[in-house]
């Protein structure tokens, strides 16, 4: 988020102030918490914006800018050493790997190309012999808990039908 929004408040451009994660379309008005709906704002702007959308607040371009995804490479460059340094500080053993080493290990161990086999092959500490005790792989998918929004709105912003309280 900081890289994407140049470490500034997206509304007033303030720098070197505490920045808050801000929903461009507010949660209360069906806005999601996806990166494409998030920006950074200083306390003053965040409070002034309230439950307005960025467009209603007078900043129609922010929505467009938010939709531009960070390229994977940019994202990795921006975060990789930060992640590494934070892990180092825990005192746990930390090891770096490269895609090339992973591939080399996978070929050396004669394993098929698959995400879970690649995971075994990351890093210099990959042993020379791997014993697999199972053939089944557990696939887990995050499904979310449903919407924060409790009612549908019509195009004028009036409530139209209410959602049940239950979440799955
Ligand atoms: Zn601001």
Q: What is the rounded CA–CA span in Å between residue 26 and residue 62?
A: 14
pLDDT of the residue at 149: 72
Asked if residue 122 belongs to a domain, the reply is yes
Between the CA of 12 and the centroid of ligand 1 the distance, in Å, is: 4
Report helix, strand or coil for 57. coil
Q: Are residues 8 and 81 in the same domain?
A: yes
Q: Are residues 43 and 116 in the same domain?
A: no
Q: What is the rounded CA–CA span in Å between residue 130 and residue 106?
A: 11
Q: Are residues 58 and 120 in the same domain?
A: no
Between the CA of 42 and the centroid of ligand 1 the distance, in Å, is: 4
**Is 39 buried (19+), middle (13-18) or exposed (0-12) by CB count in 10 A?**
buried
Between the CA of 21 and the centroid of ligand 1 the distance, in Å, is: 12
Q: Are residues 57 and 123 in the same domain?
A: no
18: CATH:
1.10.30
10-residue stretch averages of pLDDT, the chain, 168 residues long: 88 95 93 92 96 94 85 74 90 90 94 89 90 85 74 83 68
Q: Are residues 28 and 100 in the same domain?
A: no
pLDDT of the residue at 161: 76
Q: Are residues 75 and 111 in the same domain?
A: no
- Rounded (10°) CA dihedral 73, 76, 81, 85: -170
pLDDT of the residue at 166: 67
Domain coverage including residue 119: 95-141
């Amino acid at each position: 988020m900081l890289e994407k929004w140049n470490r500034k408040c997206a509304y007033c451009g303030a720098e070197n102030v505490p920045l808050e994660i801000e929903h461009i379309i507010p949660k209360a008005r069906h806005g999601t918490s996806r990166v494409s709906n998030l920006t950074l704002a200083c306390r003053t702007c965040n409070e002034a914006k309230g439950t307005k959308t960025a467009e209603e607040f007078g900043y129609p371009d922010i929505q467009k800018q938010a939709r531009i995804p960070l390229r994977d490479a940019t994202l990795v460059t921006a975060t990789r050493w930060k992640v590494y340094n934070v892990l180092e500080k825990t005192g746990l053993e930390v090891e770096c790997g490269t895609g090339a080493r992973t591939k080399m290990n996978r070929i050396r161990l004669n394993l098929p190309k698959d995400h879970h086999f690649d995971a075994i092959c990351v890093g210099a500490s990959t042993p020379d012999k791997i014993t697999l005790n199972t053939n089944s792989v557990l696939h887990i998918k995050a499904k979310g808990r449903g919407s924060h929004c409790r009612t549908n709105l019509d195009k004028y912003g009036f409530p139209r039908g209410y959602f049940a309280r239950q979440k799955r």
